[in-house]
Amino acid sequence: MLKKDSVLLFQGDSITDTYRTDSENPAESLGKGYPAKIAEKLANDYAELNIKVINRGISGHRTKDLVSRWDKDCVDLKPDYVSLLIGINDTWRAFDSNDPTSAEQYEENMRILLGRIKAETNAQIILLNPFLLDSMPDKPRMRPDLVLKQEVVYKLIKEYDVTFIDLQKIFDKMVAEGTDMATLSEDGVHPTDFGHEVIAAEWLKAVM
């Protein structure tokens, strides 16, 4: 359960951004994805907690980009909770831009991010696993690379005190039970509105 009057920070890439940076006031916008849906639920059902929600996801970012902006977009905000979803672009750029991020570099960057949260804030960490769905023909070839990043996440959750939400497992289970992949993500990376609803519901289930 989130503590009263706490600051909740969402961090990540386009999945977290979801048009936040396209708004007239990006610093105040929560975008249109799962952070906004979670904030709406908190405001409607847990108004007495008075949670301040901040979104600092930026489309296209990788772990190295978060490392470079971790002062102003995390530590300086003095969050009580940090929800982090990052990694798909660390895989994707190897395929669309010939600019790979090794699993070793991904792990190093993740350790910097998580370590600074632990060392420089009092925030609790909610860590979401990067995911991929094969709803487009080009996506299966990316899976072996992403699996290496996911294995890093599985290792880190054993070392850091985090609340973990395994989105890959959640989505794979839904698909196995008959959900059409495209209803979750048309391109295999960016959730549909329904996909964001699923993430928000799973987040609230894990945290609240």
Q: Please identify which of the residues 13, 14, 61, 196 carries the catalytic annotation.
A: 14
Q: What angle do CA 202, 162, 192 make, to 5 degrees?
A: 30
Q: What is the pLDDT of residue 64?
A: 98
Q: Give the C-alpha separation, 21 to 36, whole Å.
A: 13
196 is catalytic: no
Q: Please identify which of the residues 5, 71, 187, 193 carries the catalytic annotation.
A: 187
Q: In what order do the strands lie in the sheet with 162-165?
A: 52-55, 7-12, 81-85, 124-128, 162-165
Per-residue pLDDT tens over the stretch 100-157: 999 999 999 999 999 999 999 999 999 999 999 999 999 999 999 999 999 999 999 9
Q: Please identify which of the residues 6, 80, 172, 190 carries the catalytic annotation.
A: 190
Regarding the domain delimited by 7-207, which CATH topology (the fold level of the hierarchy) does it fall under?
A: Rossmann fold (3.40.50)
Per-residue pLDDT tens over the stretch 34-49: 999 999 999 999 999 9
- Average pLDDT on 182-203 reads 98
